Amino acid sequence: MQLKTVCARCGHVLREGDEADGPVSHGLCLHCLPDVHDVHVEHWEHLPQEVFDSLPYGVIRLDEGGNVIAYNLAQSGLSRREPARTLGRNFFLDVAPCTNVHELVGWFEEAKRIGHAPLKTVRFLFAFPHGMQYVRLSLAFNGYDRTTTIVVDVIQEEEDDE
Ligand SMILES: [Zn+2]
């Protein structure tokens, strides 16, 4: 099986190949870690929570079953949800049912089936509990640990015509 990890925000290839050992990437390239470029961590689990929370965009991590295993402060601010209330819950079914569409869930299922997938980026009208908001959703599948990382960037009004 061809394994691959790409940056969850820009799609830059971080690691590919079938070797079982080797560095495990945390799934964001250094370009996409603007505020923490001096922090070199190899895996999400090594990323201090304060660094995770300092990222200027929302990050949600899912296990293979689609359940939330990490939820950063920016995303908590966007959704106005306490991270503790999302952990362990199914992202597509319980946390963000507006994302339970074939374009996203189909990508997720296919990524798990073949072990890798290109970065999936969609402009999406996200139904937050407090209202609708255009966001750019980027989904990256990490073939090495079979987690999925979702980055949520709010699209400002002036970008609406892009
Ligand atoms: Zn990147």
Look at residues 63, 94, 100 and name the one whose alpha carbon lies nearest to residue 81: 94
Domain range for 80 is 4-159
User: What pLDDT does residue 100 have?
Assistant: 95
User: What pLDDT does residue 158 have?
Assistant: 55
Q: Distance from the CA of 13 to the center of ligand 1, in angstroms?
A: 9
User: What pLDDT does residue 59 have?
Assistant: 93
In angstroms, rounded to a whole number, what is the distance separating the alpha carbons of residues 2 and 135? 31
162 or 65, which is more confident: 65
Q: Distance from the CA of 147 to the center of ligand 1, in angstroms?
A: 17
Q: Distance from the CA of 2 to the center of ligand 1, in angstroms?
A: 21
User: What pLDDT does residue 63 have?
Assistant: 96
Express each pLDDT in 91-137 by its tens digit.
999 999 999 999 999 999 999 998 888 899 999 888 887 888 899 99
User: What pLDDT does residue 162 have?
Assistant: 46
Q: Distance from the CA of 14 to the center of ligand 1, in angstroms?
A: 9
Query: 59 with 75: CB under 8 angstroms?
Result: yes
> Which element (helix H / strand E) includes 14?
strand 13-16
pTM of the model: 0.85
Domain holding 78: CATH number? 3.30.450.20
Q: Distance from the CA of 78 to the center of ligand 1, in angstroms?
A: 21
Query: Across 5-9, 47-51, 59-63, which has the greatest mean pLDDT?
Result: 59-63
pLDDT(145) > 80: yes
Q: What does the block give as tokens for 107?
A: 């990508």
Count of structural domains within the chain: 1
Q: Distance from the CA of 6 to the center of ligand 1, in angstroms?
A: 8
**Mean pLDDT calculated for residue range 59-87:** 91
Q: Distance from the CA of 19 to the center of ligand 1, in angstroms?
A: 23
Q: What does the block give as tokens for 112?
A: 């798990």
The sign one gets for the Cα dihedral 102, 153, 14, 143 is: negative
Determine the distance from the C-alpha atom of residue 77 to the mean position of all C-alpha atoms in its chain, rounded to a whole number: 16
User: What pLDDT does residue 29 have?
Assistant: 83
Query: 123 with 104: CB under 8 angstroms?
Result: no
**Mean pLDDT calculated for residue range 51-74:** 92
User: What pLDDT does residue 32 have?
Assistant: 81
Q: Distance from the CA of 8 to the center of ligand 1, in angstroms?
A: 6
Express each pLDDT in 16-31 by its tens digit.
876 656 666 778 887 7
